[in-house]
Structure 1
Amino acid sequence: MFMFRKRKAKKQYPSVDVSIHEVRKAVMTFSDRLAKGVFTTILIKDDNSLDYEQLAPILGGIPSKTYYMSKETFDIFEEEEKEIPRIIDKVQRAVDAFVKEFKTPPLIKYDPYFRVNYYLLMQEGFLDFRPEISLYIHEDGMVTHKKPDK
């Protein structure tokens, strides 16, 4: 005889209008509640969109807008910027590999904003495309799309 477990019915959540700030707060709350050894990246789907089923209990529903998140830096973006997290992830991995090999970040020389040197990353085989946006390296080694203050 087979014993069948009853499946819990998936809770249905309403659609809610939430700002990017509210989504950021929900992601931080979710992250704070994770068990040791479980990472925030479980929230990020293959297309870099957020998995709202996991955030719905915190947000009180499923956001009506789609937000996207970088798997490397955890920056969150709106629909019109959905390509940025994918670019950041690839460039961050390339920067990390470059620094590991050369012990120095791939920066454009004499650039006061610490822009990533795509040419150098491509020349050394760490990156296979040239992004059309400028990315910058923070002092902590993280890549960002936000131009730093001088």
Structure 2
Amino acid sequence: MFWSKRKKKKKQYPFIDVTIQDVRNAVITFSDRLSKGVFTTILVNEDNSIDFEQLAHIIGGIPTKNFYMSKETFDIFEEEEKEIPATLDSVQRAVDGYVKQFKQPPIITFDPNFRVNYHVLMQEGFLDFRPDIPLYIHKDGMITHIKPSK
């Protein structure tokens, strides 16, 4: 007797225009539906672009433009800011390592915005480049590219 194997057809989704908020909402919905032990990082490709094949069923299609996401902070960016997620990932790992070793955040002394001190991270071997943008540390230890409001 012959067993026939049917190839599961991949559903074709249309290309659609979406906003960054649409993408954020889709990622949140996707994340909420994940099984225990599965992380949102499965959406992020090596170049930090978002794999929309996994989100298409939620947003109703494949976006006409690329979006990018940090694997560490889950911040989402559009094409013109696509270099920021990789920077966030590197600096967040560096900050985490520094805090684990020194039990304090690597912030610029007396900076009211808690700006990350790249010099100390590089000096201590946690970071091998100096980012072009300022990053800030939240109270929860997560970094952001958004300057805190007073």
Q: Return the TM-score normalized by structure 2.
A: 0.98
CA 1:2–1:98 in structure 2 vs 1: closer, same or farther (change >3 Å)? farther
What is the match of residue 116 of structure 2? 116
What is the match of residue 19 of structure 2? 19
What is the match of residue 125 of structure 2? 125
What is the match of residue 99 of structure 1? 99
Q: Distance in 2 between matches of 1:122 and 1:129?
A: 7
3-state DSSP of counterpart to 2:55: helix
What is the match of residue 69 of structure 2? 69
Q: Distance in 2 between matches of 1:149 and 1:15?
A: 37
Q: How many residues align?
A: 150
Q: Distance in 1 between matches of 2:112 and 2:8?
A: 56
Pair 1:41-2:24 in alignment: no
| CA shift for structure 1 position 6 | 1.1
What is the match of residue 87 of structure 1? 87
| CA shift for structure 1 position 113 | 0.5
| CA shift for structure 1 position 149 | 1.2
**Runs of 4 or more consecutive aligned structure 1 residues displaced over 3 Å after TM superposition:** 1-4
- After superposition, the C-alpha distances for 1:99-143 in whole angstroms (9 at most, x for unaligned) are 000000000000010000000000000000000100000000001
Identity level (%): 71
| CA shift for structure 1 position 3 | 4.2
What is the match of residue 134 of structure 2? 134
Q: Distance in 1 between matches of 2:135 and 2:4?
A: 53
- Listed as ranges, the gaps of 5+ residues in structure 1 are none
> What is the identity, as a one-letter code, of the residue corresponding to 1:71?
K
- After superposition, the C-alpha distances for 1:44-79 in whole angstroms (9 at most, x for unaligned) are 000000000000000100001100000000000000
